[in-house]
């Protein structure tokens, strides 16, 4: 059984097309809503494959506890699974899109005798829906997001910070395997969104304890190199918000 899991807050913009993007490739969804004030919960509850929506209280805090939210989400997903002997999760964000080849391949990795966490190359979409940044550290980003669940999962070694943590649990440390596939991040497409993201994390981690390189690099365009997504590596361009299909940086 393969379940798509996500932690969300005020994602009504990306969520409908994201659900359309992945629905046919998974057996269900479990979502944790961290206090949305828009239509996010309504969209989630109307999803026909939704197994459970976990709801946190609405707060005015800028911060959130990513580690606690993910732990709660993963444990609850195992509880609601109908196949305790072979439950896998694909960890998602609504502003991400998987390349088509990976979506078609996902379930073939979900073997009950496999103890691995599979990763994808994380591509930050810049300036246009089908180009991503590939210079320097941008080309080295990875996310490990496809792995099996079990009854007694512990997170003490992996979840040491509130942010910038791996999704997987302690038993899978050292079991990472990178695939050849890409995951595309839409929220970095516009320069103004990149600046907002840097400002947010600079407030959350002002002393750079979690990420020593800091966050200003997110909107630093010096030496920028963009690569067009190849024919074999593309995602479904039709399943993104309408305004992103025509957006192009000046």
pLDDT of residue 48: 98
pLDDT of residue 63: 66
* CA-angle at 120, arms to 52 and 32, nearest 5°: 20
Helix, strand, or coil (residue 43): helix
Number of other residues whose CB lies within 10 A of the CB of residue 222: 7
pLDDT of residue 163: 66
The secondary structure element, H or E, covering residue 67 is: helix 66-80
**Contacts for 151 with CB less than 8 Å, ≥ 6 apart:** 78, 84
Q: Which two tokens stand for residue 196?
A: 């907002």
pLDDT at 233 over 70: yes
Q: Map out the domains of the chain as residue ranges.
A: 2-246
Q: Which of 77, 90, 92 is nearest to 150 (CA)?
A: 77
pLDDT of residue 246: 95
pLDDT of residue 165: 81
The β-bridge partners of 144 are 119
The torsion of the CA quartet 126, 127, 132, 137, rounded to 10 degrees, works out to -40
Residue keyed to tokens 């024919």: 231
Q: What pLDDT, in 10s, does the model give residues 123-180? A: 999 999 999 999 999 999 999 999 999 999 999 988 776 666 889 999 999 999 999 9
Q: Which of 60, 69, 61 is nearest to 6 (CA)?
A: 69
Q: What pLDDT, in 10s, does the model give residues 64-106? A: 788 899 999 999 999 999 999 999 999 999 999 999 999 999 9
Mean pLDDT of the chain: 94
**DSSP percent split of the chain into helix, strand, coil, nearest 5:** 30, 25, 45
Q: What pLDDT, in 10s, does the model give residues 23-35? A: 999 999 999 999 9
CA-CA distances (angstroms) from residue 144 to 66, 106, 162, 208?
A: 16, 13, 18, 23
For residue 246, report the phi and psi dihedrals to the nearest 5 degrees: -110, -5
Q: Domain 2-246 class?
A: alpha beta
Q: What pLDDT, in 10s, does the model give residues 179-216? A: 999 999 999 999 999 998 888 888 878 888 878 888 88
d(CA 70, CA 67): 5
- What's the pLDDT band for 219 if we cut at 50, 70, 90? confident
DSSP annotation of 83 reads -
Residue keyed to tokens 């070694």: 157
CB-CB contact of 99 with 235 (8 Å): yes
């Amino acid at each position: 059984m393969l379940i798509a899991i996500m932690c969300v807050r005020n994602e009504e913009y990306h969520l409908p097309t994201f659900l359309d993007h992945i629905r046919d490739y998974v057996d269900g969804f479990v979502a944790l809503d961290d206090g949305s004030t828009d239509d996010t919960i309504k969209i989630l509850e109307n999803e026909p494959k939704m197994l459970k929506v976990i709801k946190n209280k609405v707060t005015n805090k800028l911060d959130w506890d990513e580690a606690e939210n993910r732990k709660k989400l993963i444990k609850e997903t195992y509880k609601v699974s109908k196949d305790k002997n072979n439950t896998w999760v694909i960890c998602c964000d609504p502003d991400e899109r998987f390349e088509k080849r990976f979506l078609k391949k996902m379930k073939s990795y979900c073997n009950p005798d496999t103890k691995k966490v599979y990763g994808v190359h994380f591509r930050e979409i810049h300036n246009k829906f089908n180009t991503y940044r590939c210079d320097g550290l941008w080309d080295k980003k990875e996310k490990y997001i496809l792995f099996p669940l079990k009854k007694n999962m512990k997170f003490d070694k992996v979840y040491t910070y509130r942010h910038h943590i791996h999704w997987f649990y302690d038993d899978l440390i050292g079991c990472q395997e990178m695939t050849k596939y890409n995951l595309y991040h839409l929220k970095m497409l516009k320069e103004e969104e990149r600046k907002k993201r840097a400002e947010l994390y600079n407030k959350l981690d002002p002393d750079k304890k979690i990420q020593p390189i800091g966050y200003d690099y997110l909107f630093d365009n010096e030496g920028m190199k963009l690569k067009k997504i190849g024919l074999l590596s593309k995602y479904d361009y039709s399943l993104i918000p309408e305004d992103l299909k025509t957006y192009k940086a000046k």
